[in-house]
Amino acid sequence: MTSSYRVVETGVTEAGLSTITRDNLVPVRPVPGGRGLGRLWEADGVLSGADAANSGADAGKSPADSGTPFPTAGGVRFWTVTVPPEDPDAPPSAFHHTPTLDLGLVLSGQIVLEMEDGTAAELSAGQVFAQQSTPHRWRNPHPVDAVVAVVMLGWGR
């Protein structure tokens, strides 16, 4: 599993020139279920015309540091999720639901997206999903970690 990601953020100086405002390493932290979470960039209110100068300030914090980890309406989260191989003797994880539009790209490995009605899609490296605030669960029935990059957009559905 990758231990950290380098995140470079840009902005604008008082003189109106583009600049690099931040260049740091964001750790991948373990979360329940053996998964790894890289919280690369986070901001709330940026999609609704909020002050972009304050965006990204929550990047790299753990879920306990910033209240709810999911974006509010107009908010954005850019994460990586590492899903280890599942234990064939363990029961499947429960379905969960987030009030977000999730756009994801499988970076490595393979992962299975399962829906409540029994439909499923197996996604491999280079394949994309758009998940529209629906109950779902992820599985990794393969022998290697799967890594997924996800942009979560908060909306008021």
Per-residue pLDDT of the chain (157 residues; tens, 9 = 90+): 679 999 999 999 999 999 999 999 999 999 988 899 999 998 887 776 444 444 445 544 443 444 568 888 888 999 999 999 998 888 888 898 888 999 999 999 999 999 999 999 999 999 999 999 899 999 999 999 999 999 999 876 5
Three-state DSSP at 120 gives strand
What residue spans define the domains of the chain?
4-154
Q: Can you give the pTM of this predicted structure? A: 0.80
CATH number of this structure's domain 4-154: 2.60.120.10
CA 67, CA 75: separation in Å to the nearest integer?
Answer: 14
CB distance 115 to 135 below 8 Å: yes
